Every structure is written in structure tokens, then in C-alpha cells.
């Protein structure tokens, strides 16, 4: 890999990781909001609320670890990120339909997922993934 291609790959890794870190931060803030509802007695079902808090906390930590892995150039980080973003696009489509539709949430989910997927599929990132598969 020449220097120009390595620079392009690094740039795409940085952009992808930036989107993942932002998503992790948003999840941490949302987890704190859910936790506040839990400790302030607003929960209608304590086990369900606690489960939701733990689920969002684990997702935030997973996103942060994937962002670190993408920055380090590890294959699992890219694969996990692609999985997460496609799941997030599905959630975005479900957020804008039905009785409790919220275009702001659906728009954020879709735009952040697309924003994270674009740098994961740059020509430099794809060439690097092919090289890793063949070595």
C-alpha cells in the first residue's frame, strides 16, 4: 500500500470512528436519561426499566469499542460497525411509521448510519479489506 492510499484509508477510518463515537455519546446520554427515570421512581416496571438501561449502556460501550477497533484497523470493528449501521437504518424506518412516528429520531438514526457507512465503503477501505482477506 502506497502512502497516498494509506492516507485515504486512515482518513476514512477516522471519519467512521468519529460517527461511531458520536453515536456512543448519544447512547450514553440517553442511558443517563433512562437511569434518571429509574432512580427517580418514574419507572412503571422496575425490571423492564433496568433491562432497558443495561441494554443501552452495553450498546454504547460496544459502539465505543468498535470505534477504537476501526481506528486500529481491526476487521471485527468494521464488520460490527456495518452490522450496527444496517440495524440502525431498520430502526430509522420503523421510527417514522406508525402511531408514535417521530421524524426527528428517524432522521437522526438514518443520517448517522449513512454517515458512518460511507467511510466504511470508500475505495481505500474496500481495497484494504480485500488485502486482509487475501493475506
Give the residue carrying C-alpha cell 450496527: 84
d(CA 58, CA 99) in angstroms, rounded, equals 28
Q: What local confidence, expressed as pLDDT, does residue 133 receive? A: 84
Q: pLDDT tens for residues 75-104?
A: 899 999 999 999 999 999 999 988 888 999
Q: What local confidence, expressed as pLDDT, does residue 98 receive? A: 83
Q: pLDDT tens for residues 22-71?
A: 999 999 999 999 999 888 888 788 888 899 999 999 999 999 999 999 99
d(CA 69, CA 61) in angstroms, rounded, equals 12
Q: What local confidence, expressed as pLDDT, does residue 44 receive? A: 86
Cα distances (angstroms) measured from residue 120 to each of 10, 20, 100:
11, 11, 32
Amino acid at each position: 500500500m502506497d502512502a497516498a492510499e494509506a492516507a485515504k484509508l486512515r482518513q476514512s477510518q477516522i471519519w467512521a470512528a468519529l460517527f461511531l463515537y458520536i453515536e456512543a455519546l448519544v447512547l450514553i446520554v440517553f442511558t443517563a436519561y433512562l437511569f434518571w427515570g429509574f432512580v427517580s421512581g418514574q419507572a412503571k416496571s422496575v425490571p423492564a426499566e433496568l433491562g432497558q438501561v443495561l441494554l443501552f449502556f452495553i450498546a454504547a460501550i460496544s459502539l465505543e469499542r468498535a470505534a477504537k477497533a476501526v481506528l486500529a484497523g481491526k476487521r471485527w470493528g468494521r464488520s460490527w460497525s456495518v452490522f450496527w449501521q444496517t440495524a440502525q437504518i431498520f430502526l430509522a424506518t420503523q421510527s417514522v411509521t406508525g402511531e408514535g412516528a417521530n421524524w426527528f429520531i428517524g432522521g437522526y438514526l438514518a443520517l448517522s448510519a449513512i454517515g458512518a457507512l460511507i467511510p466504511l465503503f470508500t475505495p481505500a477501505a474496500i481495497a484494504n479489506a480485500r488485502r486482509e482477506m487475501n493475506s
